[in-house]
C-alpha cells in the first residue's frame, strides 16, 4: 500500500456490505440499482451488475463501458465485459466464484422479468430478497459525501440568484423553468436531479406542478423547487417569491410554513425518530388550523438519489443517524388560491444538525 494514497471509501463500503451479508446469512449480493453500484465502485455507466462475494467484487457491464469502467472502479473490484447480456455473464461469474448457494438481490429494484431471468440463468443459486440493505448503508453519509451535497446546494443557490434576474411579469412558467435549467448547468450542475418545478399563482397549490404556459401576474406567489447535482450527489430546495406586495393570506400561510420549517430543523438530530421531525412541522401547521392543507410527508433523504432513505413522514420507522442528509419541506396548499412550500437540506448530527441551505428563507418581493 502506498502511504501517500488518498483515502478511498470503497474498501470500507464493501466491508460493510460483507458484514451485513454475514448477519443475513447470505453468501453473496447482486447489486443492480445503479446508484448503489456507483456508491460501491465509482462506476457511472447506465448498465451494470455488481456481484459482491466474500473474497471478491465483480462489476459486470457491456462493451460500451470497457474503458470507462476500467478508469472508474478501483483495484479492489474486477471488471467483466459481457459479450451477450448481464445475466449470462453473471451466471459464469457465479460458477467461477467462491460463494455459497444463497445470494441476495435488491428486490425493490428488479423487475418481475429480471427476477425471472435471474432464476433461469443461475439455477443452482437460491435467490433471496435482500430488502433495503444497500439503501440503509447509503443513508448515513461520510464527510466527503456531505461536502458533495453541500456543493450541490451552493451550485443551486448560485443558479437561483442568476435566475431571479429573468423573473418578470408576463414570463411563463415553462420559460422560467428552461431558464433555471440553463442557469443550473452554467453554475456547475452535472445534470438535473429532477425537472425543476416552477408554479405560479393558484398553481403553487399543486404539490408536484409541471411548469405550464401560465404567465406571471402581479400579486402571484411563485414557487420554485429544484436541485443541482455535483459529483453525483443531489441537492433539493424550494423557495417562494411574490410579484409585488403580498396579500395578507399569503403572508399568513408563509409565516406558518416558515415556523414549521424552523420547528422541524430544531427537531432534527441523530437518535431521533424521523416521524417526530415530521410531527414537529405538522404540529405547527395543524395548530394554525391548516392541518388538512399539508397532505405529504415533511421530507426525505438526499444523496446519489434525490429521494432516498430515511423517510421523514408520520409513518416512518427510520431513526435518524449521524450523517443522514434529509430535506425539511412542509407546506400549506390552498386549492384555487395558492400554496407555500419551503425546503431546506439538513444533516443530522450527534446532539444537533447542520443546515446546508443558506439562501434567505423570507418571502422575497420581486
Q: Binding of Zn ion at residue 305 (CB under 5 A)?
A: no
Q: Binding of Zn ion at residue 157 (CB under 5 A)?
A: no
Q: Report the 3 state secondary structure along 264-312.
A: HHHHCCCCCEHHHHHHHHHHHHHHCCCHHHCCCCCEEECCCCCCEEEEE
Judge contact between 196 and 177, C-beta under 8 A. yes
Q: Binding of Zn ion at residue 225 (CB under 5 A)?
A: yes
Bridge partners, 331 (sequence order): 341
Nearer to Zn ion, 51 or 312 (CB): 312
Smallest gap, in angstroms, from Cβ of residue 306 to Zn ion? 7
Nearer to Zn ion, 58 or 298 (CB): 298
- Give me the phi and psi of 8, to 5 degrees please: -115, 120
Nearer to Zn ion, 187 or 234 (CB): 234
Nearer to Zn ion, 99 or 298 (CB): 298
Q: Which of residues 309-328 bind Zn ion (CB under 5 A)?
A: 327
Smallest gap, in angstroms, from Cβ of residue 225 to Zn ion? 4
Sign of CA dihedral 146, 152, 154, 157: negative
Smallest gap, in angstroms, from Cβ of residue 125 to Zn ion? 38
Smallest gap, in angstroms, from Cβ of residue 154 to Zn ion? 16
Judge contact between 202 and 120, C-beta under 8 A. no
Nearer to Zn ion, 80 or 309 (CB): 309
Smallest gap, in angstroms, from Cβ of residue 241 to Zn ion? 16
User: Rounded CA gap, 203 and 224, in Å?
Assistant: 11
Nearer to Zn ion, 278 or 343 (CB): 343
Residue from 8, 90, 15 nearest 55 by CA: 15
DSSP structure string for 197-211: EEEEGGGGGSTTPPP
Element (H, E) at 155: helix 143-164
Q: Binding of Zn ion at residue 145 (CB under 5 A)?
A: no
Nearer to Zn ion, 43 or 294 (CB): 294
User: Rounded CA gap, 299 and 265, in Å?
Assistant: 11
Q: Binding of Zn ion at residue 357 (CB under 5 A)?
A: no
Q: Which of residues 325-354 bind Zn ion (CB under 5 A)?
A: 327, 343
Q: Binding of Zn ion at residue 269 (CB under 5 A)?
A: no
DSSP structure string for 19-49: HHHHHTT-SEEEE--HHHHHHHH----SS-E
Smallest gap, in angstroms, from Cβ of residue 229 to Zn ion? 13
Smallest gap, in angstroms, from Cβ of residue 179 to Zn ion? 18
Q: Binding of Zn ion at residue 298 (CB under 5 A)?
A: no
Q: With contacts defined by CB under 5 A, how many residues of the chain interact with Zn ion?
A: 4
Q: Binding of Zn ion at residue 236 (CB under 5 A)?
A: yes
CB count in 10 Å sphere of residue 199: 28
* Residues at the interface with Zn ion (CB under 5 A): 225, 236, 327, 343
Amino acid at each position: 500500500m502506498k502511504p501517500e494514497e488518498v483515502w478511498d471509501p470503497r474498501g470500507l463500503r464493501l466491508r460493510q456490505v460483507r458484514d451485513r451479508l454475514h448477519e443475513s446469512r447470505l453468501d453473496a449480493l447482486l447489486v443492480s440499482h445503479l446508484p448503489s453500484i456507483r456508491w460501491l465502485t465509482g462506476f457511472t455507466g447506465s448498465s451494470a451488475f455488481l456481484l459482491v462475494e466474500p473474497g471478491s467484487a465483480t462489476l459486470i457491464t457491456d462493451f460500451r463501458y470497457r474503458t470507462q469502467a476500467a478508469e472508474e472502479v478501483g483495484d479492489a473490484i474486477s471488471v467483466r465485459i459481457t459479450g451477450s447480456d448481464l445475466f449470462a455473464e453473471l451466471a459464469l461469474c457465479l460458477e467461477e466464484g467462491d460463494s455459497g448457494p444463497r445470494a441476495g438481490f435488491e428486490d425493490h429494484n428488479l423487475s418481475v422479468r429480471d427476477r425471472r431471468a435471474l432464476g433461469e440463468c443461475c439455477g443452482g443459486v437460491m435467490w433471496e430478497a435482500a430488502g433495503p440493505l444497500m439503501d440503509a448503508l447509503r443513508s448515513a453519509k461520510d464527510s466527503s459525501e456531505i461536502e458533495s451535497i453541500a456543493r450541490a446546494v451552493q451550485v443551486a443557490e448560485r443558479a437561483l440568484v442568476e435566475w431571479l434576474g429573468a423573473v418578470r411579469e408576463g414570463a411563463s412558467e415553462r420559460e422560467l423553468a428552461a431558464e433555471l435549467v440553463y442557469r443550473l448547468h452554467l453554475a456547475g450542475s452535472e445534470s438535473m436531479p429532477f425537472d425543476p418545478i416552477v408554479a405560479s399563482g393558484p398553481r403553487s397549490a399543486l404539490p408536484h406542478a409541471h411548469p405550464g404556459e401560465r404567465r406571471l401576474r402581479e400579486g402571484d406567489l411563485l414557487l420554485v423547487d429544484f436541485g443541482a447535482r455535483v459529483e453525483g450527489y443531489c441537492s433539493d430546495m424550494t423557495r417562494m417569491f411574490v410579484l409585488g406586495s403580498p396579500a395578507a393570506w399569503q403572508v399568513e400561510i408563509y409565516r406558518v410554513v416558515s415556523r414549521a420549517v424552523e420547528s422541524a430543523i430544531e427537531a432534527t438530530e441523530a437518535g431521533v425518530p424521523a416521524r417526530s421531525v415530521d410531527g414537529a412541522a405538522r404540529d405547527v401547521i395543524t395548530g394554525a388550523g391548516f392541518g388538512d392543507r399539508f397532505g405529504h410527508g415533511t421530507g426525505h433523504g438526499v444523496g446519489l438519489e434525490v429521494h432516498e432513505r430515511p423517510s421523514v413522514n408520520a409513518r416512518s420507522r427510520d431513526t435518524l443517524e449521524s450523517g443522514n442528509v434529509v430535506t425539511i419541506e412542509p407546506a400549506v396548499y390552498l386549492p384555487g388560491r395558492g400554496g407555500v412550500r419551503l425546503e431546506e437540506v439538513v444533516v443530522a448530527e450527534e446532539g444537533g444538525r447542520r443546515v446546508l441551505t443558506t439562501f434567505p428563507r423570507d418571502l422575497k418581493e420581486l
